Amino acid sequence: MPSLSVFGAQWGDEGKGKIIDLLARDADVVVRYQGGSNAGHTVIVGEDKYVLHLIPSGILHPGKVNVVGNGVALDPLTFMDEVDGLRERGIPVEPENLRLSTSAHVILDHHRKLDGLAETWLGGGRIGTTGRGIGPCYADKASRTGLRVSELLEPGRCRERLSAALLEKNALFAGVHEAEGLELEEQVEKYVAVGERLRPFVCDTGAYLRGAHAEGKSLLFEGAQGVMLDIDHGTYPYVTSSSTGANGIPSGAGFPAKHVDRLIGIAKAYCTRVGEGPFPSEEHGEAGERLGRKGHEFGATTGRPRRCGWFDSVAVRYALDLNGADGWIMTKLDVLDSFEKICVGTSYKVEGEESLTYPVGCADLNAVEVQYEELPGWQEDITAIRKYEELPAATRAYVEWVEERVGAPIVMLSVGPERDQVIPRGL
């Protein structure tokens, strides 16, 4: 298999975990390069359900190397909990199959605390974050005040950096948020201890990945979140704090962009969003409620109900185009099985003007009016179908119609949460 980038082309939760787990069979190395434990990637294997937050979704396949790159905001406590949880379930997690970048920034208690306080501070303007400390950690990275994994491995350095960080953060907690500060020695002890547990996994993952590529190994880059949540290209400020598409790979993995051979987006056959922020094709009525119910749309990380709406071809086209996608995978097609009519957003009306282009810089995306076309449903269970030609004619008509609107080939369909519930279409 060539080296592949697989990323979310909507607002997250597109089914990346399931697809990465499937594609990992043909890869040698699976890599996370951005985001942190805000991600919740679900993999279903028979009766077993795994929700992965930091560890790449290739971990369930023996013999694959899983890499957490330098661009990940690493909560070391969650990381070790995840390692322990997988081991308890009989999944081998050892330095042979899991490597962690020495340069990844670390999410500390003060980041999580600040995430919550900042949301309260914002009140009605809150982002609706996952509360995992992602924004504050990346803010410190950019401010050059963060701690990296390497620093947790050196107690003296850890104390020095933590002391400087807490001096500032405790002043902020007390002065602005009227909240209690954190105690330095307690924090040093806690993070040096977890650093010792991280140590066996830590290495220069960029060098490892470049070497693996030079040896002819195939790499699979697992995006977290989705392009519409990208810090630069998403619905700012209602975004996460990293580069969520293939654009995040070179810096977040320490791997040259030119060695990523194929880029594949993932989008559901409808659309969801968790947290606050504009969602042009959101359905507030019965259709939205029904999509949520049929699709079991509850956050894999926070359990929050996801907002639901129809497929938005303007947003998906933008996300794929932005990343130069070679094609995309449509997931959760089976969720539409019982619908009599299916709507698809085809264009936006922005200040009275119809547009096929996503309006970057639009001051009020909530005011955008989505124009829809309605297609007939198929009202048949498609979850057991494995060949494209065997799908009902109305399903194929829907797929091909959406594909044409989006303007990029659909290379696979997913028709259920299980590993084998896919219909190949050229990937």
Query: In the complex with ligand GDP, which residue's Cβ is closer, 130 or 346?
Result: 130
Name the one range near ligand GDP by CB under 6 A: 69-77, 185-193, 255-263, 326-334. 326-334
Residues 5-34 interacting with ligand IMO (rule: CB under 6 A): 8, 12-13
Q: Which residues pair with 266 in a beta bridge?
A: 8, 329
Query: In the complex with ligand GDP, which residue's Cβ is closer, 149 or 423?
Result: 423
Give the chain's length. 427
Taking CB under 6 A as the criterion, the residue among 4, 11, 18, 162 binding ligand GDP is 18
Q: State in angstroms the smallest separation of the CB of 134 from ligand IMO.
A: 4
In the list ligand GDP, ligand IMO, Mg ion, none, the entry touching 414 (Cβ below 5 to 8 angstroms by class) is ligand GDP
Q: State in angstroms the smallest separation of the CB of 106 from ligand IMO.
A: 16
Burial letters 358-389, b for 16+ CB under 10 A, else e: bbeebeebeebebebeebebbeeebeebeebe
Query: In the complex with Mg ion, which residue's Cβ is closer, 279 or 398?
Result: 279
Please name the residues in contact with 185: beta carbons below 8 A apart, sequence gap of 6 or more.
none
Q: What is the 8-class DSSP label of residue 148?
A: B
CA angle at residue 403 from 402 to 406, to 5 degrees?
85
275 in contact with ligand IMO (CB under 6 A)? yes
252 in contact with ligand IMO (CB under 6 A)? no
Query: In the complex with ligand IMO, which residue's Cβ is closer, 85 or 299?
Result: 299
Give the dihedral of Cα atoms 112, 16, 305, 338; nearest 10 deg: 180
End-to-end distance of the chain based on CA atoms, in angstroms?
Answer: 10
Query: In the complex with Mg ion, which residue's Cβ is closer, 162 or 300?
Result: 300
222 in contact with ligand GDP (CB under 6 A)? no
Cβ neighbour number for residue 95 with a 10 Å cutoff: 13
Active site residue 13: yes
Helix axes 109-122, 184-198, angle to 10 degrees: 120
Residues 287-306 interacting with Mg ion (rule: CB under 5 A): 300
CA distance 415 to 335: 8
What does the H/E/C string look like for 263-313?
Answer: EEEEEECEEEECCCCCCCCECCCHHHHHHHHHCCCECCCCCCECEEEEEEH
Please name the residues in contact with 304: beta carbons below 8 A apart, sequence gap of 6 or more.
274, 275, 298
CA distance 88 to 80: 12
Query: In the complex with ligand GDP, which residue's Cβ is closer, 17 or 133?
Result: 17
CA angle at residue 269 from 267 to 270, to 5 degrees?
95
Binding mask 396-415 for ligand GDP (x = CB under 6 A): ------------------xx
223 in contact with ligand GDP (CB under 6 A)? no
Taking CB under 6 A as the criterion, the residue among 158, 335, 365, 410 binding ligand GDP is 335
Q: Give SS3 for 124.
A: helix
CA distance 313 to 405: 6
37 in contact with ligand GDP (CB under 6 A)? no
Residue 105 contacts residue 138 (beta carbons within 8 Å): yes
Q: State in angstroms the smallest separation of the CB of 269 from ligand IMO.
A: 16
Query: In the complex with ligand GDP, which residue's Cβ is closer, 82 or 140?
Result: 82
The one-letter amino acid at 381: D
Taking CB under 5 A as the criterion, the residue among 7, 11, 13, 281 binding Mg ion is 13
Q: State in angstroms the smallest separation of the CB of 135 from ligand IMO.
A: 5
Binding mask 251-290 for Mg ion (x = CB under 5 A): ----------------------------------------
291 in contact with ligand GDP (CB under 6 A)? no
CA nearest neighbour of 356 among 316, 314, 312: 314
Q: State in angstroms the smallest separation of the CB of 136 from ligand IMO.
A: 9
Q: Of the listed 21, 41, 75, 105, which one is catalytic?
A: 41
In the list ligand GDP, Mg ion, ligand IMO, none, the entry touching 247 (Cβ below 5 to 8 angstroms by class) is none
Structure tokens at 361: 């810089």
List residues binding ligand GDP (CB under 6 A). 8, 12-18, 40-42, 44, 300, 331-332, 334-335, 414-417
**Active-site residue list:** 13, 41
List residues binding ligand IMO (CB under 6 A). 8, 12-13, 38-41, 127-130, 132, 134-135, 224-226, 229, 240-241, 274-275, 300
List residues binding Mg ion (CB under 5 A). 13, 40, 300
